[in-house]
Amino acid sequence: MGISDEGPANTMARNDIHTPVLLDRCVELLAPALEGEARIVIDATLGLGGHSEAMLERFPDVHLVGIDRDADALELAGERLSPFSDRTTLVKTEYDDIAGALDQAGVDRVDGILFDLGVSSLQLDRAERGFSYSQDAPLDMRMDADSDVTAERVLAEYGEAELRRIFQRYGEEKLAARYARAIVRTRDDEPLRTSAQLVAVIDDATPAAARRSGHPAKRVFQALRIEVNRELAVLENAIPAALAAVALRGRIVVMSYQSLEDRIVKRAFHTASQSSAPAGLPVELPEHQPEFRLLTRGAERASETEMAANPRATPVRLRAAERIRGNNA
């Protein structure tokens, strides 16, 4: 992944720079479900459209439903996918609104679904979006510019206990209490409006011994981003909605970039691939048999070669499943 921070112009340069994570593996896993006539695939996290472009090129009979809450991403992906405009439906919504997106596309079942979770290259590389702790920018962090909640608002309005909770839960930050206290103390003197201000507060509150495990602001910024965009709450709803929409022999592929996301995906896939028969039942009835089978053993990681060529592939965890029962109407 990765793009320049230019405006919508120079799309070709942006496409050249943007490298989708695990592109070949995603296409390989989805291929058995997409080869054939009148197939439907959802790219639930469209971003810059790299994965979508590859699927539309590889499968000439596929219709793509692309979902993103970011209007900028939809505009840029639309330009990139313009050669396939007769086979694409782009929808601005959060990715748990699978049913609503399918309504817009005029279908009720899909053959493949892809999720590439986390912050996109477009959002991360545009400094003014405020996602990065390494570049000074307004504390925004919204994936959807129409949302009312920003990181600045969270830092200004949440109490110390609530800030501590989100740093612990969404950032798995051991110094959550220290950072929350420092933020509240600082904002009493001046509002926190930029990423540089927040980084300075975290730096000052970090003991020297705790500086050995990466940048001290990393987990706080992750926690704020997740809170602002309700990422885990959306994902908790999105995976079951996606599983429900997959047709018989259809497939779902999910790439996560941190353990909190991966746990949600792992739990949902495990439930869908297990028998629902009550304990002690001597014979498993057909209606209790698993609806999905797992296509990956655990979570797959990027190869050393891909990580070297595309550092944003380093934390990826990929899981995939295929529907083996139900939804064949």
**What pLDDT shows up at residue 328?**
65
Rounded Cα distance between 80 and 86, Å, is: 13
**Helix, strand, or coil (residue 49):** coil
- Residue 135: pLDDT over 70: yes
Radius of gyration of the chain (CA): 21
Spell out the domains of the chain, with CATH numbers in brackets: 11-122+231-323 (3.40.50.150), 128-229 (1.10.150.170)
Rounded Cα distance between 127 and 251, Å, is: 36
What angle, 0 to 180 degrees and rounded to 10, lies between the N-to-C axes of helices 50-58 and 71-80? 30
Sheet with 88-92, strands from edge to edge, namely: 88-92, 62-68, 39-43, 110-116, 246-256, 317-323, 292-294
- Which pair of tokens denotes residue 136? 């000074």
Per-residue three-class SS string for 255-307: EECCHHHHHHHHHHHHHHCCCCCCCCCCCCCHHHCCCEEECCCCCECCCHHHH
What is the residue-wise DSSP string for 212-238? GSS-TTHHHHHHHHHHHHTHHHHHHHH
Average pLDDT of the residues in 287-307: 92
Nearest one of 92, 93, 217 to 167, comparing CA atoms:
217
What tens digit of pLDDT does each residue of 254-292 get?
A: 999 999 999 999 999 999 999 776 766 666 666 768 999
**What pLDDT shows up at residue 235?**
96
50 is in an annotated binding site: yes
**What pLDDT shows up at residue 284?**
65
Average pLDDT of the residues in 143-172: 95
What Å distances lie between residue 246 and 52, 64, 205, 227, CA to CA?
18, 14, 48, 29
- Which pair of tokens denotes residue 299? 């979570």
Token pair 């320049």 in the structure block, residue: 4
Residue 306 makes CB contacts below 8 A (sequence gap 6+) with 21, 22, 313
Cβ-based burial of 10 (10 A; exposed 0-12, middle 13-18, buried ≥19): exposed
What tens digit of pLDDT does each residue of 87-98 get?
A: 999 999 999 999
Q: Are 180 and 170 in contact (CB under 8 A)?
A: no
- Say how far residue 146 (Cα) sits from the centre of its chain: 19
- Top mean pLDDT of 19-23, 29-33, 289-293 is at 29-33
123 is in an annotated binding site: yes
Interior CA angle at 52 toward 103 and 313, to 5°? 125
**What pLDDT shows up at residue 226?**
94
112 is in an annotated binding site: no
**What pLDDT shows up at residue 14?**
43
What is the residue-wise DSSP string for 127-175? GGG---TTS--BS---SSTT-S--HHHHHHHS-HHHHHHHHHHHH--TT
pLDDT greater at residue 284 or residue 101: 101
63 is in an annotated binding site: no
**What pLDDT shows up at residue 132?**
81
**Helix, strand, or coil (residue 106):** coil
Token pair 């979902």 in the structure block, residue: 67
289 is in an annotated binding site: no
